[in-house]
Amino acid sequence: MNGIPIGESRRVRVTAVRQVAEDVRTFELVAADGRPLPPPTAGSHLVIEVPAGLLRHYSLCGDPRDASRYVIAVKREAAGRGGSASMHDAVEPGSILTIAGPRNQFPLAPQPSFSVLIAGGIGITPLFAMAQALQHTHSPWELHYCARSAAHAAFLGELSALRPSAVTPYLSPTPIFDAATEFSRFRPGTHVYCCGPAGLMQAVADATSHWPEGLIHFEWFSTPADTEVPNGTFEVELARSGMVLAVPGHLSVLQVVRAAGIDVPSSCEEGVCGTCETRVLAGAVDHRDHVLSPAERRANGSMMICVSRAEGGRLVLDL
Ligand code: FES
């Protein structure tokens, strides 16, 4: 993992830490220098250099109209690589963190006639911000919120207070939201936004596969378990230096480029965060990320070099 590039970084001070659900804490952040923060939009996230030295992406869950502070919610992932645990264990009011953003890869569509929000667990964070934004603009919405129990469902009370009839909780340790039935009929003018565990995201993707392109929006924070596909070998040409590097099947483009001494920022290294996005100057890409839309993939203008590979023998990258 590399750090946040200097030009993009900003220092923030933690003003409050709150336990809002089982294993979930919110962190309120203000600019360390007291200057105004860039205003967020619903669905946006911050890149945060956590105390463990890793870069992590956390969605903003506060009211997007409030640019005086950012609020993120972090679930302590017992089986993670230590990033969330270090946020829980080492960050307290007064702590200083380095961040980049906000960035938005999960924006609300302009003026949808109806918005369906689907959340699983900590995936509620960007959808909480969206529900607030939709409510403030009097745009109709509904939320299907899946969590293990009420104690695990962060912000359930606040969401229910926002518009009680719009929120349907599904509280169970096993999946009970029936995506196939919910989306069996295409609803014209409706946009669907989903963030949660890979199983829920895949169920929604499968259930909406007959819907027109561009109406279903996902924010992935982990990769589906069944995305293993065989890797071929190919070459990457780095346009700025003219270097040509071989990418064997067991290494990613990111690993090969780094080994050659080229610094590229990364975070998830699973194709879900967008940090390693790199411009493609020539060659066809075998896109394996969960960041680019189908239209962006067809445009072939960029790729996530932590997971995506070449479809042919060589790619030319703007590195
Ligand atoms: S590092 Fe997250 S998409 Fe590549």
Top-ranked range on mean pLDDT: pick from 51-65, 97-111, 153-167, 229-243: 153-167
**Boundary (domain end) residue, out of 164, 183, 218:** 218
State residue 222's pLDDT score: 66
Of the residues 52, 72, 103, the one at which a domain ends: 103
Distant-in-sequence, close-in-space partners of 88: CB < 8 Å, separation ≥ 6: 25, 74, 76
Cβ-contact 37, 65 below 8 angstroms: no
Q: Do 139 and 198 sit in the same domain of this protein?
A: yes
Omega within 30 of 0 (cis) for the link into 294: no
pLDDT in tens, 27-84: 999 999 998 899 999 999 998 999 988 888 899 999 999 989 999 999 998 887 788 9
In 3-state terms the chain splits into helix, strand, coil percentages (rounded to 5) of 20, 30, 50
Which of ligand 1's atoms lies nearest the C-alpha of 254?
4
Query: Is residue 109, in this structure, part of any structural domain at all?
Result: no
Total-model pTM: 0.83
Q: Is 269 in the pocket of ligand 1 (CB under 6 A)?
A: yes
Q: Has residue 298 been placed in a domain?
A: yes
Which residue is associated with the tokens 């483009």?
Answer: 253
Cβ-proximal residues to 80 (8 Å cutoff; 6+ apart), any chain: none
In a mutational test of the pocket of ligand 1, which residue from 103, 255, 256, 275 has the highest number of ligand atoms less than 8 Å from its CB? 275
Integer Cα distance of 35 and 30 in angstroms: 9
Question: Structure tokens of 92?
Answer: 């307290």
Cα of 308 from ligand 1 centre, angstroms: 10
The domain that holds 295 is classified in CATH as 3.10.20.30
Give the CATH number for residue 130.
3.40.50.80
Shared domain check, 191 and 131: yes
**Ligand 1 lined by 49 (C-beta under 6 Å):** no
**pLDDT, position 39:** 92
Residue 81 in any domain: the answer is yes
**Residue 54 pLDDT:** 84
Q: What percent of the chain has pLDDT over 70?
A: 95
**pLDDT grade, residue 221 (50/70/90)?**
confident
Count the neighbouring beta carbons within 10 Å of the beta carbon of residue 223. 18
- Residue 3 pLDDT exceeds 70: no
* CA nearest to 19, candidates 30, 27, 9, 10: 27
Average pLDDT in the 117-146 region?
Answer: 97
Total count of domains within the chain? 3
Per-residue pLDDT tens digits for 255-305: 999 999 998 988 888 888 888 999 999 999 999 998 898 889 999 999 999
Beta carbon of 306 within 6 Å of any ligand 1 atom: yes
Confidence bin at 5 (pLDDT 50/70/90):
low
Domain that holds residue 293: 234-317
Per-residue pLDDT, averaged over 89-111, amounts to: 93
pLDDT of residue 274: 87
CA–CA dist 20, 263 (Å, integer): 38
Give the pLDDT confidence score for residue 228 in this predicted structure: 55
